[in-house]
Amino acid sequence: MSLTVVTGSASGIGAATRAALLEEGKDVIGVDLAGADITADLSTREGRRGAVEAVLQRCGGTLDGLVLCAGLGPHVDDAERIVAVNYFGTIAMLDGLFPALRKGDHPAAVVVSSVSSTHITWDDNPLAAVVESGDEAGVGPALEVGGEYKGQFAYAGSKNALTVAVRRRVAEWGAAGVRLNTVAPGSVETPLLSQGMADPRYGQAIRDFVAPIPRHAKPEEVATLISYLLSPKAGFVHGSQLVIDGGVDALLRPTRF
């Protein structure tokens, strides 16, 4: 039976993905701060190391799928923690579980990025040098450019860096027979979105962020796309970022794709 790990499995897109995979008859190992098979804090090196070790113990060193949903939004006051979870935590899980995926049956991994990753270029990303060097201590100084809105810089910058990191792994992962892609949601009806809309700094901007399809996505819609990318039906999809945002990216960047 197919075995998949889902981080951020207790709520939002992660919970919807876990439910979708279970409905397909797959075994799922959930990872989250609470309410999951494995409890772990991916904002710390110790938490990441413990999560990888716990997954490897449970799966016996072999995985068929990996979905990395765990993440924090721009409203979180500790902007450094946003980067710690969204980028460093995700990359630690991605690379730490790569050997297990190489042993899997038609293995694939999906990383949840964001349409915000397209709103900043790598050349203009204030986190680029920090993530290139792996120096988490440099995150705070790098984010000072954002002032009181450094949470947004942390969010967009970490998601941009995450997408770049995935694309840079396509040769190694492809040669190993493991497909790797990202999905880039826009506004999705999750607790993270609700918290952002309640934030006095970002709430109005989120409310004004209306897609050409004038509603928020449902977590189940994103989960359906993730499920497809994990399946053999997407057997030649590798290194791609699939935007699922109701048309926002096309609206804002019609000539850039």
Contact status, residue 101 vs residue 45, Cβ threshold 8 Å: no
Residue 190 is predicted with a pLDDT of: 83
7 in any annotated domain: yes
Choosing from 87, 149, 155, 228, the catalytic residue is 155
What letter would DSSP give residue 50? Answer: H
Q: Which helix (H) or strand (E) holds 172?
A: helix 170-175
139 in any annotated domain: yes
146 in any annotated domain: yes
179 in any annotated domain: yes
Q: Please confirm, yes or no, whether 155 is among the known catalytic residues.
A: yes
Question: What stretches in the chain show pLDDT beneath 50?
Answer: none
189 in any annotated domain: yes
Beta partners for residue 223, in sequence order: none
d(CA 61, CA 55): 8
d(CA 15, CA 45): 24
Contact status, residue 159 vs residue 113, Cβ threshold 8 Å: yes
Pairing of strands 38-39, 27-32: parallel
63 in any annotated domain: yes
The tokens for 119 are 């709103």
Residue 72 is predicted with a pLDDT of: 96
10 in any annotated domain: yes
Which residues are within 8 A (CB) of 82 and not within 5 positions of it... i.e. 6 or more apart? 72, 73, 74, 76, 151, 154, 155, 158
Domain that holds residue 46: 3-248
- Give, in order, the Cα–Cα distances in Å from 224 to each of 73, 87, 149, 184, 207: 22, 24, 33, 13, 25
For the domain that residue 45 is a member of, what is the CATH number?
3.40.50.720
Q: Among 195, 183, 92, which Cα is nearest to 136's?
A: 92
257 in any annotated domain: no
Residue 208 is predicted with a pLDDT of: 80
Q: How many domains are contained in the chain?
A: 1
